[in-house]
Amino acid sequence: MDIFQLDKSISFTQLKPLLLQKFGFVFLQDQNQPFFAIYPKYLHILDQDKIFYRQADFDYVEQTQTQLLQMNFYDNQINSADLSFQGGYIAFISYDYAAQQHIEQQHPIQQPTAIVGEYDIFIKWVDHQWVLFAEKNLIDHPAIQNLIHELQHCQEIKPAIPFKLKKNMQPRWSKTEYDQAFQHVQDYLYAGDCYQINLTQEFCGEVISGGLSALVSDLMHLSQAPFAGYIQFENFELLSCSPELFIEFQPNRILKTRPIKGTLPRHQDPEQDQQLKQQLANSEKDQAENLMIVDLLRNDLSVYAQTGSVKVPCLFEIESFAQVHHMVSEIQAKLKDDVNVLEVLLSALPGGSITGAPKIRAMQIIDEIEGNARGAYCGSLGYFNYDGTGRFNILIRSIQRYGDQLSVWAGGGITVASQVDAEYQECMDKVSALLDFLNQYSE
């Protein structure tokens, strides 16, 4: 890779609107190693069978291609010393795309289900400044030289069209309808179909002007989410403030996953906030739910792991985020030598923390009860480097726009020990900050 260091005075809010105009724009927070990527070698929209190839003059030609998600890795050797984006593949995979590998869904899917691009041009935050990375022999290309000139002279630009909602975000379910869905889940649990089912509900709004891109900077600041990101294609946008890591593909073929299961809100008073944190740490119910998902993920990873390598170094840790405390555990494993990392990712999706256990039956029940496709929610956004290292999140705390329709989802794992009002409140604790943020833009 060739590099070009930008002026240290150039900020995120200056870069974002400039880069947003470039084809294939994507942003990932990448656990405090943020980067933008633009001008992909190709961009594949799987559900539409569209693939756009970059030409020598940096124009793009559109072709059709059979719906197939493919990535090529250098000898499939995971050996990089640096786990950050180094050039490779960035992918959004929706819940529905992943679920359709396992079950036949009943509900129509309208928005893109998967977007995959191969990127060799990106701008990354390195040692307190933004650095442009480009594949060798590209740095002198007229398009890249023009980009460098734009980057060096960019100024903070406010969106030409402000983001506005027609009215406040509204739940698709009333409280009574949520209670009925909860009871339906309980019936399946007591019948022995599952041990845990992740019940989620949708909150909807109508956009009358602007796009989610105008909200990226403010929402990143509000959430401080380590696995946040933004991706768009035509009339589809996804803006995620996810705190949850799905799978990290580390050097030396080590896998790490950190499922979240167990939530309580933050409190402004430090003493009461600490009490809530301790309450979550001592919750036997949340520990039981968390352990179910840990066991599920241990099973998912063991299929591809070297015998005896699956371990749980951290169990029931409490992590505090801007609005909530979460109970988090960690599972690690070492991949077999002949395993392809993309196969591991697709096989493990959707994540157990947002489906339930056993996973296949939980997904079938989710599809029946929730009454609508989840879309991006509970899918994944992340990247693979060419050597197979990479990092993918779980798309919770995420906003999706398709056309003029805006959607936010939230929910939680339901067991026989769950209480309906407490579960409903947990859902609201998770989503309230996002809803409050969005509602300030309503007419």
Place of tokens 């329709």: 405
Coil, helix or strand for 218?
helix
Q: Which residues pair with 64 in a beta bridge?
A: 50
Which residue out of 16, 256, 261, 334 is catalytically annotated? 261
Which residue out of 118, 237, 244, 330 is catalytically annotated? 244
What's the full length of the chain, in residues?
443
Provide the b/e sequence for 90-102 (b: ≥16 CB within 10 Å). bbbbbbbbbbeee
Please, what sign has the CA dihedral across residues 115, 120, 126, 132? Answer: negative
Tell me which DSSP letter residue 373 carries. -
Type and span of the H or E element at 385:
strand 380-385
Type and span of the H or E element at 369:
helix 359-370
244 flagged as catalytic: yes
Place of tokens 């809100």: 265
175 flagged as catalytic: no
Half-sphere exposure of 380 (CA within 13 A, CB side): 29
CB-based contact 307:239 (threshold 8 Å): no
Q: Which residues pair with 416 in a beta bridge?
A: none
Tell me which DSSP letter residue 442 carries. B
Our CA dihedral for 256, 262, 263, 264, rounded to 10 degrees, sits at: -130
Among residues 43, 134, 59, the alpha carbon closest in space to that of 92 is found at 43
DSSP string, 250-303: EGGGEEEE--EEEEEE--SSHHHHHHHHHHHHT-HHHHHHHHHHHHHHHHHHHT
Half-sphere exposure of 184 (CA within 13 A, CB side): 16
Contacts of 6 (CB under 8 A, 6+ apart): 123, 129, 130, 131, 132, 151, 152
Which are the catalytic amino acids? 244, 261
